[in-house]
Structure 1
């Protein structure tokens, strides 16, 4: 491989072209053009342009018994769809996931509309060209007025149809506000991969939020803050005295659910997820 190598490590893996599903030990080599899975007597080369899905922890059913911490790569060669499964340590899988998505997506041409919404208000922003950059935990759109989306602050996303075609709409916290950004990529394959990357990051965050133990009073305080309540307003909104509000806010800060920034009291990404789940439960 003449191009620059951006990942090179040893792991267990299997490819659908193997005679048996049993994983083998070998070398994983990634460049910006291809992924190579090699053993002492075989080599599988996967062009990055052939990869249409990347997943972590989800193994096809007939391979489930063979693997633990995994990254599954779906690709298409000569009209045939195939799957390769790589197993490594949790940290290695996490790092390789980021590097692989970065190799696939960084530098891609995009069109972005930011902010498309601020809270529930639709803005008059229009789509403008930008280049996509992927860094650990961050999606950045480089243009005359760059936009950075911290993936830890993403609370919701969906695909939608707009005048520029299919877009991904992402709701995220930005300096204490809930804003929605919309972006389209140069082709559907890359748009699907970016959607998968966001889903993986969102799932990790949602799982962490589920493990946080909150009382009914704390949830009510989170909902009040989400609705625009400031520190000085919460006692009246919640019907409690100021000392109780102080205790609630201290507990919520310790649990990583609220933050006090330049624009005042706001919810962290985990706090927003908990509130979103609560509102959806009430509305169903």
Structure 2
């Protein structure tokens, strides 16, 4: 490739050019324009402009027995939808996923409304054209009206919806994320549906990792009550605002929540962490169902 290579490693993969049922070993190269998977016998080239989806761990049943940790890339080839499956080990898969999304999405001009909501209340924020940048664990928006970051570990929910942005109703992503003890909602739209789908997939993968961490945790009614009380207080409060009974019992509950990384101490007060925000959001959704 004549363009600059941003990733170059040896691994196992399977594409439509592989004649056997099993994956093959070869070289994997990524530039800002294309992904190339090559062996001594063939080369599969995937233009990044044709990529329509990226997923982790999703392998067709016929190939599942041959792979462990994978990145699956779906792309269009004329009227056909094809896939390339790349295998890596643990952190290598996560690192390649981040680099791949960064190459595909970084630098895009987007229309943003931030924050569209603060603590659930609609704001008067206007639309802004900004530049989207991705780095490990962070979605950054640069430009008109001031830069800001969204910590991907703080995303508590997101959805796709139609919004009036830039004087036109467009498909957009509504992203709820924890910031300073409260929940902010940021609305983002990209210039085309394919790129919006890829950003949605990226957020879904990051959000799924947070949800997997929460699935391993168990909560008592008292712990949930303390989290909801803290949320109702704006996401940050001191001990006196959380007392509903015995001081010692309340302190034990708060210590348990700290141990689970659901709250943290900030400037002499307690603040919901991103995980805590996500737990409260799930609880409120369950109550409203």
For the aligned pair, the TM-score class normalised by the smaller chain equals over 0.9
TM-score of the two chains, using structure 1 as the length reference:
0.95
In structure 2, the residue matched to 1:232 is 240
In structure 1, the residue matched to 2:153 is 152
* Aligned equivalents of 1:22, 1:60: Cα separation in 2: 12
Assess if the C-alpha contact under 8 Å between 1:176 and 1:261 holds in 2: no
Number of paired residues? Answer: 281
In structure 2, the residue matched to 1:8 is 8
- Assess, with a 3 A threshold, how the Cα gap between structure 1 residues 176 and 57 changes in structure 2: closer, same or farther: same
Deviations 1:18-65 (A, max 9, x none): 323310011111011110001111111111111010000111233222
In structure 1, the residue matched to 2:257 is 252
Deviations 1:218-273 (A, max 9, x none): 1211111111172211113xxx2222222221221121000223594221111122
Assess if the C-alpha contact under 8 Å between 2:173 and 2:187 holds in 1: yes
Structure 1 residue ranges, 4+ long, deviating more than 3 angstroms after superposition: none
Check if 1:272 corresponds to 2:277: yes
* Aligned equivalents of 1:42, 1:96: Cα separation in 2: 22
* Aligned equivalents of 2:266, 2:177: Cα separation in 1: 16
Structure 2 gap ranges (5+): none
Alignment of 1:119-268 (within 5 A): 119-144=119-144, 145-164=146-165, 165-228=170-233, 230=237, 231-236=239-244, 240-262=245-267, 264-268=269-273
Q: Secondary structure at the match of 2:243?
A: helix
Q: Secondary structure at the match of 2:130?
A: strand
TM-score of the two chains, using structure 2 as the length reference:
0.93
Q: Secondary structure at the match of 1:18?
A: coil
Q: Secondary structure at the match of 1:247?
A: helix
The alignment yields a C-alpha RMSD, in angstroms, of 1.4
Q: Secondary structure at the match of 2:58?
A: coil
Q: Secondary structure at the match of 1:163?
A: strand
